[in-house]
Each structure stands twice: as C-alpha cells, then as structure tokens.
Structure 1
C-alpha cells in the first residue's frame, strides 16, 4: 500500500495550486494523508476527487467550512498499521514522549504545523512523521512531501521528496 503524505498546503495564500510533481503522485497513492492547514475547501475537494482514500484533519489556519468536514484527529488501520493524523504536536523538545503519551495506540503519527520535515521514533516505537509543506518552505531549503509503503502492517520506504523551486508566475 503506497502512502502520499502532505501538510500545510495553505492554498491559495502560499501558491495558487498544488505542485505538478505532487499531483502526479496522486494516481500512484492508495492512501493520501493531509495533516491540516488546507486553508481552502477547493484543495479538500480536489484531493477527495482524485484520491482512492483520503485521511485528513483540520489545522489552526482552517476555518469553519473545513472544520465542519474534517476531524481534529484522524485514525485508520492500514493493513494492520495503526496510523494517526493531527496538525499540531507542540514544541520539538519533548515531542516524542508527549506524542507517545497522547497516542499510545498508534504505530505512526503524521503531523504538520511547523513546515519542517521530521522523522523520528519515540522510545515506545511510535514513528512521528512531518512531511513539511509542498507550497510554503518557510525557513527550509525546499518545499517537501513524503511517500511511504505499508506492507504486512509495517511502514517502510519513507521518502522525503524535495520539490523544485517555483518560478515566478507559475502558480505552482
């Protein structure tokens, strides 16, 4: 099972549309995960239309229309892998323990908010993944997203994808 992980798309504030490289991943993904801060419902509509399975949550920048359609925390069993999604996890310091305490029933937690890619494992075995942002790199060198594979209840092939810089006027 192939996963496509993203967060913090902030459309249309940070870009006019999702990057072409990210959109090209949609048909290859069995499950698309978005960890919040969509900002517009058009992005949710697009991912619902083009994804086999979409798991998403709302973020701190998402208004009433998105909050009406999305939970604050999402959970799914993906072939035996217990996946959770949330937007905010708090400060980087102590994140692993804080998340392990809050989500003792998960194998993997996907989160966003910081726009900083993150891949660590708590002492309990909980894997924490932040795919960064495909549209707003902030203080990072590149805009990013992640892909991963689930086989027999285990996560593998976690890959951080760096997107090429946007060109002026491209909107992507």
Structure 2
C-alpha cells in the first residue's frame, strides 16, 4: 500500500494549487494522508475525488467548513498499521515522549503545523512523521512531502521528496 503524506498545503493562501509532482503522487497513492491546514474546502473536495482513499485532520488555519467535515484527530487501520493524523503536537522539546503518552495504541503518527520535516521513533516504537509543506517552506530549504509503503502492518520505504523550483 503506497502512501502520500502531506500537510500545510495552505491552498490558495500560499499557493494557487498543489505542485504537479504532488498531484502525480495523489494518482499513484493508495492512500493520501493530509495533516491539516488545507485552508479551502475546494482542495479537500479535489483530493477526495482524485484519491483512492483520503485520511485527513483539520489544522489551526482551517475554518468551520473544514472542521465540520474533518476530525481533529483522524485514525485508520492500514493493513494492520494503526495510523493517527493530527495537525499540532506542540514544541519540539519533549515531542517524542509527549506523543508516545498521548497515542499509546498507535504505530504511526502523522502531524504538521511546523512546516519542518520530521522523522523519529519514540521509546515505545511510535513512528512520528511530518512531511513539511509542498507549498510553504517557511524557513526550510525546500518544499517537501513524504511517500511511504505499508506491508502487513509495517511501514517501510519512507522517503522525503523535495519539489524542484520549476514545479513550485
């Protein structure tokens, strides 16, 4: 099962649309995971129509229309992998321990908010992933997103992708 993991798209606030490499990944993915800050309902609708399966949570920049359709914390079972998706996890300091306590029955926690790519594993085995942002890099060197594979309840082939300037 191929995953596309994105967050903090801020469409159309920071970009008119998702970059073409991200749309290609939407088409290739079995599951698209979005960790909030969609900003506009139209993007949710477009991703839902184009993806095979969409799992997402709302973020702090998402208004009432998005909050009415998305949970604060999304949960799913992906071939035995217990996934949770949330926008904010708090400060970097103490994140691993805090998330391990808050998500004890989770194998993978996808989060956003910081626009900073993150990949760590807690002492309890919880994997934490933040894809950065494909449209708003802030102080990061690149616009980014993640892809990964799930097989028999295990996450593998996690890859951080950068978006070339010609596609931004």
- Deviation of the 1:148 alpha carbon: 0.2
- Give the corresponding residue for 1:93: 93
TM-score by length of 2: 0.98
Q: Secondary structure at the match of 1:137?
A: coil
Q: Secondary structure at the match of 2:165?
A: coil
- Deviation of the 1:26 alpha carbon: 1.2
- Give the corresponding residue for 1:129: 129
TM-score by length of 1: 0.96
Following the alignment from structure 2 to structure 1, what is the Cα–Cα distance between the partners of residues 138 and 94?
Answer: 23
Following the alignment from structure 1 to structure 2, what is the Cα–Cα distance between the partners of residues 26 and 113?
Answer: 21
Gaps in structure 1 of 5+ consecutive residues: none
- Trace 1:1-12 onto structure 2 (pairs within 5 A): 1-12=1-12
RMSD value, Cα: 0.9
Following the alignment from structure 1 to structure 2, what is the Cα–Cα distance between the partners of residues 157 and 26?
Answer: 17
Following the alignment from structure 2 to structure 1, what is the Cα–Cα distance between the partners of residues 113 and 125?
Answer: 22
- Deviation of the 1:133 alpha carbon: 0.3
Gaps in structure 2 of 5+ consecutive residues: none
2:104 is the alignment partner of 1:111: no
2:11 is the alignment partner of 1:17: no
- Deviation of the 1:27 alpha carbon: 1.5
Q: Secondary structure at the match of 1:114?
A: coil
Following the alignment from structure 2 to structure 1, what is the Cα–Cα distance between the partners of residues 108 and 8?
Answer: 19
Q: Secondary structure at the match of 1:84?
A: strand
Following the alignment from structure 2 to structure 1, what is the Cα–Cα distance between the partners of residues 13 and 94?
Answer: 31
Q: Secondary structure at the match of 1:3?
A: strand
- Give the corresponding residue for 1:38: 38
2:69 is the alignment partner of 1:69: yes
Following the alignment from structure 2 to structure 1, what is the Cα–Cα distance between the partners of residues 111 and 165?
Answer: 23
Following the alignment from structure 2 to structure 1, what is the Cα–Cα distance between the partners of residues 43 and 117?
Answer: 21
Structure 1 runs (4+) greater than 4 angstroms displaced: none
- Give the corresponding residue for 2:144: 144
Aligned length: 168
- Deviation of the 1:165 alpha carbon: 2.0
